[in-house]
Structures are given as structure tokens and as C-alpha cells.
Amino acid sequence: MSTVASPLSAPERQPLLGTPGLGALALLVLGTLLLGYAYGVKQGALFLVGGGLGIALYHAAFGFTSAWRVFIMDGRGRGLRVQMILLALAVILFFPFLASGTLFGNPVKGFVSPLGTSVLAGAFMFGIGMQLGGGCASGTLFTAGGGNARMLVTLLFFIIGSVVATIHFDWWVALPSLPPVSLVENFGAAGGILVSLVLFAAIAAVTILVEKRRHGALENEPVSKRQGVSRLLRGPWPLVAGAVALVLLNFATLALAGRPWGITSAFALWGAKGAQLIGIDPSAWAYWQLPPNAKALSESVFADITSVMDFGVIVGAMLAAALAGKFAPSLDIPLRSVLAAVIGGLLLGYGARIAYGCNIGAYFSGIASGSLHGWLWAVFAFAGNMVGVKLRPYFFFEKKVLSRADG
């Protein structure tokens, strides 16, 4: 008798979750309930939103770093165009409520920061760090949660770089700068949306022009073997679907927290808490004397919104990796790659803190808030990425450019 091979691939024949997935699901459920009980329903809900962000980032392989690298190295702009869709949807959704100052009856405020020298320098550092560290802020979290051991090294030094930047923060902000500029305040919601959409369209048009000149045609979305419910649960999601999910979850963050999604302020807080454990007093530094930061330092990290959401992203990504059948951590990391993670992590952490945010807090949420500093951040971070791409061959052996690689 002959047997017929199963039409399902190996990952499809695996258990839906497995031990790592069940653990992640349990953490997500218990974390939501415990945080809701101890710190209020909103805090529990924000942890759950973080989990959703982790799932969306992992399943869509939504990489800011890889998208920029692919365009710089290979002229392929699909990832950048999807980022423009992400930002376009965000400003359309965010601007009317930021203009009114309320959402569902609760006060809301965007991330609008000064246009300073620190933004230029910090964004440039961050851009280099993206390529050496192998990810941005969101990319570091979701790939680490997904089982990438190398990204745990990046994350550790991201935290160290963040807390070191708080020592020098007052020096950086004292450098020449211009006041914060908000498109929402200067043009109103409708005018700000129009200006933003024109800029997004112009950037998308440039990527199309470059890609067609270099390749003759635009790159298509890879065809997935999974469809329907299986694709929803296990991934990979289309990039556009990931963009829509990220926008909606950022909007949920705005509704619950009264401000958009951020990531890296928590890294500075974790580093400061670690410094306290080894006998260093961060409260003597000017950064930690600012009222919001002083309050965060004096309380549990579980009372900090950004920390709780970051924990959620890690757990959500772990759950998504288990669902995809790809949670398989390995400590077999080349020494050069570890060195790149150390340098990249330090640049990411230091740069994000002095630039008032990262690819999420400054770029995604900053532009969604109408802040001109988000655009300034994007320009100098892209310049940093160009330098970082030039440095990568000293640390990595890359056979070809991948468009759905790291964060």
C-alpha cells in the first residue's frame, strides 16, 4: 500500500501554540488581569494593546530598519511606501482629535518637541544604530520577543545607552534649538492633513521613480502559502495589513493613555532602576528631576505606561512567533555580530533619548502628532542609516538584500 503525503507543511502540522506559545498567552492574560487589578483597567488594557502591537509587528515583519536599508542598497521602495500609508492613515485619524484636544471625552495630547541640535545629532546616531543593531526600537522589542537572542544584546545596550544619555540630557537640550512646531496648530486639522498627505505622496513618488529606473518594475508582495484564518493566526500578514493594525492600535493608545505610542523612555527608566540597584543615584541628574521622570523613577515600572506596553510588545511577539512555528532561540551568534549589537544598541539608546524619541515616538507618533520634529528626525535618521549601511559589511556577511528581514 502506498501512503499519500500530507499537504500541510511542517509548521502547519505543529501544535498551534506549543509550550512557548502557551506561556506567552498565559502571560498576556494574567498580565492584563493583574495590571488591571493593581493599577487600573486602563493599565491592563494598555498591556493588552502592547501585546497586539507585538503580534502585528511580528506577523507583518514590519521593519523600519530593513525597509530603509533595502531602499538605500537596492532601490526597492515597497517598505517605504507602506510606511507612507501608515503615516497617512495615522494623520487622518489623529489630527481631528488632537485639534479638538479630546477623544471620547478624555483629554489627549500629541508628541510635539523642539527642533533642536539634539534632534539632528540623536536621529543621526539612531540611524547608524538601526543598521548595526539590526533593528529600531520596535524592531528590537518584537524580534527579541520572537526569540532572536542577538537582539537581546542590542536591547541590553539600548537600555545602557538610554540611561547614559540621561546624564548628558541637560547639556544637549541647552544647545541651539527652535520652539516646537505643530502642523495641527498652524494649519488646523484639515490643513495639516493636506500638507502631510502631499509630503507622503512626494516621498512615495520618489521611491517609485527610483525603483522603476533601477529595476524596470515595482516589487510585488510575496505570495503566502497560508490563507484565511491560518494566515491571520500564523502569519505572514501583508505589510499593508500590518500598517493598518499598527495605526489602529496606536489610536487605541491615544484613547487610553491620552498620548500616542512611545517606546524608548521606558528603556531609560529600566536603566535608571538598574543603576539604583548597584548604588548609583540617577535622581541627581537633571533628566530625572523633571516632574514626570521623577515620578516614574519613584514608582514601580508596572505603573509606567510605556514600560507596560513594551512588556506587552515582547509577550505579543513571543506569542506570534510560537503561532508561526518560529520560536527557536539560538545562542550561536558570530562575535562580529555581537560587537555590532553592542555598538548599535548604545547608539540607538543614546540617540533616541536626546532626539525626543525613536522611530515610534519621534517618527511614527511624532508625525502622527503633527510635530515638525518628527520630519526633522526622519531626515537625519535616514542619513544615519546611509552611513550604517556602509558600515554593515565590517560586521555582517550579507549575500543579498532582504525586504522582510529585521526590524
Q: Summarize pLDDT for 210-240 with one digit per residue, the tens.
A: 999 999 999 988 888 888 888 888 889 999 9
- For residue 123, what pLDDT is reported? 98
Q: Residue 185's pLDDT is what? A: 96
Report whether 323 contacts 16 (CB < 8 A): yes
Class of residue 254 by CB neighbours under 10 A (exposed 0-12, middle 13-18, buried 19+): buried
For residue 48, what pLDDT is reported? 98
> What pLDDT is recorded for position 191?
98
Distance CA 321, CA 18 (A): 11
Looking at the DSSP bridge assignments, the partners of residue 103 are 106
Nearest alpha-carbon partner for 243 in 113, 393, 92: 92
DSSP states of 298-346: HS-GGG-HHHHHHHHHHHHHHHHHHHTT---------HHHHHHHHHHHH
Alpha-carbon distance of 67 to 82, in angstroms, equals 9
Instruction: Give CA–CA dist 157/223, Å, rounded.
Output: 36
What is this structure's pTM?
0.92
By the 10 Å C-beta count (0-12 exposed, 13-18 middle, 19+ buried), 75 is classed as middle
pLDDT recorded at residue 1: 36
- The per-residue pLDDT for range 175-214, each reduced to its tens digit, is 999 999 999 999 999 999 999 999 999 999 999 999 999 9
CA–CA dist 271, 313 (Å, integer) = 19
Q: Nearest to residue 84, comparing CAs of 268, 247, 291?
A: 247
The total of other beta-carbon atoms located within 10 Å of residue 85's CB is 16
Q: What residues have CB less than 8 Å from 280, skipping those under 6 apart?
A: none
Residue type, 139: G
Cβ proximity of 111 and 319 under 8 Å: no
**With a cut of 70, which residues of the chain have pLDDT below it?**
1-16, 398-407
Pick from 405, 164, 375: nearest CA to 287: 164
DSSP run (H or E) holding 77 = none
